[in-house]
Structure 1
Amino acid sequence: MSTFSGQRVVVLGGSSGIGEATAAAFAKDGAEVVITGRDQQRLDAAVARIGGNTKGHAVDAVDQAAVAALFAELGTVDHLVLGVSGSAGSGAFAELDLGELARGFDAKFWPQVRSLQAALPHLRTDGSVTFITAGSSRAAFPGTAGLAAINGALDAMVPPLAVELAPLRVNAVSPGVIDTPWWDRVPEEQRKQLFEGLAAVTPVGRVGRPEDVAQAIQMLAANTFVTGIVLDCNGGTTLASGR
């Protein structure tokens, strides 16, 4: 029997990138998967790519009432993956638009927190929650102080939530640089040079793929003896010695 056979997994922000890869991994392992996003057409396309027992629900994660209504409709959820993300909040600190930083919190921090709160009455008592944060919170790259604040705030919540909500398990996966549509805002040639430069100084010799992060999330959901951790999935970029 597959590990997640008969279990329901909800992936918020599952229509592309890491979220879609995560949904595909769970679906392949027998789960009933529900993905969310704001655009029903994109969700339908993702559902077709993922296959298996997968459904898409158009929900804006900023709208807590809509998220709460979705969970009430779904019933019991065994595993929740909080993959809502955004790109606002980056840039040199001296010129950082603090309103833009606030919008970064509105796009990622608050939707993940509100969604977890809305889901709590419907989560299996000993199920799992996995936040998807980002390596910016544990690195020191110029221009990422705002992103570090957003993701660091989520990381900081994991240990106390794991204790408070036990036996529900609460973890986070902190991805490094992953080749996803999140980077489409960077011109192609610049993006290529950036990825090649990072690969050259990363111990594993490449940037990440969405499937790398999906495997980490799936492992945390499956392992019933792991809770309260932030798992780096970054190819070793934060190691002291590097390569």
Structure 2
Amino acid sequence: MTTLAGKQVLVVGGTHGIGRAVAEAALAAGAVVTVAGRSGSALPGATQIAVDLAAPAQFAGLLAGLPVFDHVVFTAGARIGSPKFADADLAEWRLGFEVKFFGTIALLQALLPRLAVDASILLTSGVLSRKASVGGITKATLNAATEALGRNLAKELAPRRVNVVSPGVTATDIWGSGAARDDKLAGIAGNLPAGQVVQPADLAQLYLLALTQPAMTGSVLDLEAGALL
């Protein structure tokens, strides 16, 4: 395995949730971290830039002056619901793809000249890509497309490495706050083989593994507390 010490790491979506946990773990591992996002509190020790994946025309200007990156992590996405197919709002469905899928593609295209020749790229999908459910179709199709993107980029961008992390239910602020959040997550945990949901700090270690394992590319890495069983 390689080390992140002194490496330039960009975390898109790194101002909150899973991305923030990844950025914190990379900082702790000695990386020079830049976080990008639309909102969120500053992360001490990291450089922060404002990026909206739904506005690709801004990318060229935003990237000017940034360093060459050794690793790029994408965790950003639009918050979309979980409707049944008959009730799915196509505008919301399109927004999900516009931000997490097409926005990632556009930003990655803009970043290619700023990636080291041996850089790694890490995308984020989700357990619904391979777990069929009533109400999961919008997120399932988006996550499955992300996994297909990662595998194809691993071929096309080699020797740069491309991998995908697929989390299960993770205890982030997307679930709200307070007792209602805790009760909701406890109910989900009770139906999982591991008896718990995924913790952001634990998930971040899987991201760091993908960044530092030089023989890993084209992989989809699961951390989902047994939800796929």
TM-score w.r.t. the length of structure 2 is 0.93
SS at match of 1:227: coil
Deviations 1:77-123 (A, max 9, x none): 00000111122252111111112111111232121111111111111
Which one has a larger percent helix, Structure 1 or Structure 2? 1
2:210 equivalent in structure 1: 220
CA distance in 1, matches of 2:151, 2:100: 19
Partner of 1:23: 23
Instruction: Give 1:36-115 correspondences, 5 Å limit.
Output: 36-39=36-39, 42=40, 45-48=41-44, 52=45, 54-115=46-107
Number of equivalenced pairs: 228
2:159 corresponds to 1:167: yes
Indicate yes or no: 2:206 matched with 1:210. Answer: no
Aligned residues with identical type, % of pairs: 39
- Structure 2 distance, partners of 1:55, 1:235, is 33
Q: Is there any run of 5+ residues in structure 2 with no aligned partner, and where?
A: none
The answer on whether the counterparts of 1:9 and 1:79 sit within 8 Å (CA) in structure 2 is yes
- Counterpart residue number, 1:6: 6
Deviation of 1:187 after TM superposition, in Å, equals 9.2
Contact 1:130-1:172 within 8 A present in 2 as well: yes
Q: List per-residue Cα deviations over 1:150-208 (Å, max 9, x = no partner).
A: 11111111111101100000001011000111222x9953x444322321222221011
Verify the 8 A CA contact 2:127 2:227 in the aligned structure 1: no
Match of 2:224 in 1: 234
Q: Point out where structure 1 has 5 or more consecutive residues left out of the alignment.
A: none
Measure, in 2, the Cα distance between the counterparts of 1:98 and 1:66.
25
User: Equivalent residue for 1:122?
Assistant: 114
Give the aligned CA root-mean-square deviation in angstroms: 1.8
AA of the residue aligned to 1:13? G
Is 1:153 matched up with 2:145? yes
Q: Counterpart in 2 of 1:194?
A: 184
2: CA distance between counterparts of 1:206 and 1:134?
17
Please state how far the C-alpha of 1:212 moved relative to its aligned partner: 2.0
Give the 3-state SS of the residue equivalent to 1:88 in structure 2: coil
SS at match of 1:56: strand
Which residue identity lines up with residue 43 of structure 2 in the other structure?
A: V
Once residues 33 and 192 of structure 1 are traced to their aligned partners in structure 2, the CA distance between those partners, rounded to angstroms, is: 31
Correspondence for 1:142 among 134, 140, 144? 134
Q: TM-score, normalised by structure 1?
A: 0.88
Letter in 1 for 2:116: R
Higher mean C-alpha deviation, range 60-69 or range 28-37: 60-69
Letter in 2 for 1:228: G
8 Å Cα contact 1:179-1:208 kept in structure 2: yes
1:79 & 1:129 partners in 2: Cα distance? Answer: 6
Question: What do the CA deviations read for 1:116-163 (whole angstroms, capped 9, x no partner)?
Answer: 111111111111000011111111221110111111111111111101
Aligned letter for 1:181?
A: D
